[in-house]
């Protein structure tokens, strides 16, 4: 083995051992910096893949869409027909094992029937009915376009996009900026801790929207084929992240509102800064209680939100908790929620204190997330200064979590600049 590689591994292991609150190992994979490869195009859309040359399981599909919501949906359904069908069927498969997660359902839903699968199905049907009047028409138009192009049942597609309303993933949100980061530019982490073996990770997809709606910003939705709401995302202006808020309190929730994934995509599409994001989130008719992180390129800061039907609280590096604790000390330019419900995990604090003033995207994706073991299903770091995203997904076949997988580098300047024309369709 090359002596430099041996030395690098030794240093990495030594550093990991110094962080006594951490139980994971550093991610030593090289960054995947392959160009996007065009797979197909159609009117209003193009389909690409970015894939590691040495590990073909490390890949992400890129959908670039342009036009009205219906036009973008139609192009999406045309280009990703098979992938969306697979994701839809795979998500519906979770209803077959609903007995393992039925207790995570909202209280009003748990006792609808005496059978977990029927309870989960009926719950999503009620969600569809109750949220429809609060959901912007653009989402229904996009899903109608997908359904028309792909032949997928429209109602099944709507309920697919409501599935995240039912479940609770641990997750982590981190923001580092100003005196804490190496360049002074904002960095943001969205780590999704859900199911590393989830088969939907066969089709990881970043969907880039160039909507013709007035006031729209180009934005990238990070998730899976067919998921039109936002679990994670990055625009030319802001980035969004989400995490469960525990303990769950049914008095803070309602079924009658706009699903939170759509609210987050609203922010991606229309917010130009933190002020816009704060106003949009506070004014939204919200449903369930979650934590939200919104980073802003122009403000060069991140704000955290305790988000619920009943109230919304906004937090920064100065007031995220009162008081701060040894496990989560106050640091200027640092605001985060770890994957625990009570912020008792000191791993993130140890690493950020050690690297304070030198934190970059590599530190966050190679040390913070893998050492803290956060980001089972998706690990994403938004680098606002470089206009880039570091992204990894779990390998579902081996249950290997995203935080130890090769990180794929997304040059967002390049991806946002891809043009979509009305040229004839191609398939490569």
Q: Residues 118-129: pLDDT tens digits?
A: 888 888 899 999
Which of 129-133, 143-147, 203-207, 249-253 is least confident?
Answer: 249-253
Residue 368, token pair as written in the block = 């913070």
Residue 8 reports pLDDT greater than 90: no
Architecture of the 169-201+230-416 domain: 4-Layer Sandwich (3.60)
**Domain extents in the chain:** 37-165, 169-201+230-416
Tell me what percent of the residues of the chain surpass a pLDDT of 70. Answer: 94
What's the average model confidence in pLDDT over 152-178? 91
Per-residue model confidence (pLDDT) at position 95: 81
pLDDT tier at 426 (50, 70, 90 boundaries)? Answer: low
- SS3 for 291? strand
Per-residue model confidence (pLDDT) at position 326: 85
Residue 423 reports pLDDT greater than 70: no
Residue 8, token pair as written in the block = 């690098």
Per-residue model confidence (pLDDT) at position 5: 47
155 vs 101, more confident: 155
What's the average model confidence in pLDDT over 146-150? 98
Tens-place pLDDT, residues 231-290: 999 999 999 999 988 777 878 889 899 999 999 999 999 999 999 999 999 999 999 899
Per-residue model confidence (pLDDT) at position 262: 97
Per-residue model confidence (pLDDT) at position 164: 87
Tens-place pLDDT, residues 13-45: 444 458 999 999 999 999 999 999 999 999 999
In the predicted model, what is the mean pLDDT of the chain?
Answer: 91
Cα atoms found within 13 Å of the Cα of residue 268, Cβ hemisphere only: 29
Query: Which value, to the nearest 10 degrees, does the dihedral of the CA atoms of residues 127, 146, 139, 296 take?
Result: 110
What is the Cα–Cα distance from 369 to 376, expressed in whole angstroms? 10
**The pairing of beta strand 59-67 with beta strand 204-211:** parallel
pTM: 0.93
Q: Tell me if 77 sits within 8 A of 216, measured CB to CB.
A: no
**How large is the C-alpha radius of gyration of the chain?**
21
* CA terminus-to-terminus distance, the chain: 39
Q: Tell me if 371 sits within 8 A of 347, measured CB to CB.
A: yes
Residue 4 reports pLDDT greater than 50: no
Per-residue model confidence (pLDDT) at position 422: 60
pLDDT tier at 197 (50, 70, 90 boundaries)? Answer: very high
Per-residue model confidence (pLDDT) at position 16: 47
């Amino acid at each position: 083995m090359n002596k430099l590689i041996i030395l690098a591994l030794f240093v990495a292991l030594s550093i990991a051992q110094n962080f006594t609150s951490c139980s994971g190992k550093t991610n030593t994979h090289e960054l995947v910096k392959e160009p996007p490869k065009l797979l197909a195009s159609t009117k209003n859309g193009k389909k690409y893949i970015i894939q590691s040359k040495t590990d073909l399981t490390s890949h992400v599909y890129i959908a670039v869409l342009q036009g009205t919501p219906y036009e973008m949906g139609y192009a999406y359904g045309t280009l990703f027909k098979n992938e969306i069908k697979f994701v839809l069927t795979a998500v519906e498969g979770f209803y077959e094992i609903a007995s393992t997660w039925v207790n995570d359902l909202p209280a009003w839903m748990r006792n609808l029937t005496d059978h977990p699968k029927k309870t989960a199905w009926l719950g999503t049907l009620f969600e569809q009915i109750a949220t429809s009047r609060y959901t912007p028409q653009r989402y229904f138009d996009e899903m109608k376009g997908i359904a028309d192009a792909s032949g997928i049942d429209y109602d099944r597609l709507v309920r697919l996009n409501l599935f995240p309303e039912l479940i609770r993933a641990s997750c982590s949100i981190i923001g580092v900026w100003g005196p804490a980061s190496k360049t002074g530019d904002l960095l943001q982490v969205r780590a999704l801790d859900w199911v590393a073996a989830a088969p939907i990770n066969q089709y990881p997809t970043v969907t880039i929207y160039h909507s013709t709606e007035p006031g729209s910003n180009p934005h990238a939705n990070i998730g899976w084929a067919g998921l039109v709401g936002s679990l994670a995302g990055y625009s030319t202006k802001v980035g969004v992240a989400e995490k469960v808020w525990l303990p769950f309190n049914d008095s803070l929730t309602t079924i009658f509102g706009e699903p939170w994934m759509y609210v987050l995509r609203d922010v991606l599409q229309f917010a130009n800064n933190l002020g816009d994001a704060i106003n949009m989130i506070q004014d939204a008719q919200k449903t369930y209680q979650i934590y939200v992180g919104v980073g802003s390129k122009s403000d060069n800061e991140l704000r955290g939100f305790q988000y619920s039907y009943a109230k919304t609280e906004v937090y920064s590096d100065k007031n995220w908790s009162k008081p701060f604790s040894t496990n989560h000390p106050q640091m200027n330019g640092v605001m985060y929620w770890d994957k625990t419900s009570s912020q008792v995990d000191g791993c993130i604090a140890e690493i950020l204190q050690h690297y304070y003033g030198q934190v970059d995207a590599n530190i966050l994706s190679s040390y913070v997330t893998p050492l803290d073991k956060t980001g089972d299903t998706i690990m994403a770091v938004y680098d606002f200064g470089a206009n880039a995203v570091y992204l990894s997904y779990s390998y579902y076949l081996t249950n290997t979590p995203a935080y130890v997988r090769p990180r794929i580098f997304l040059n967002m300047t390049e991806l946002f600049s891809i043009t979509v024309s009305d040229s004839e369709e191609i398939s490569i």
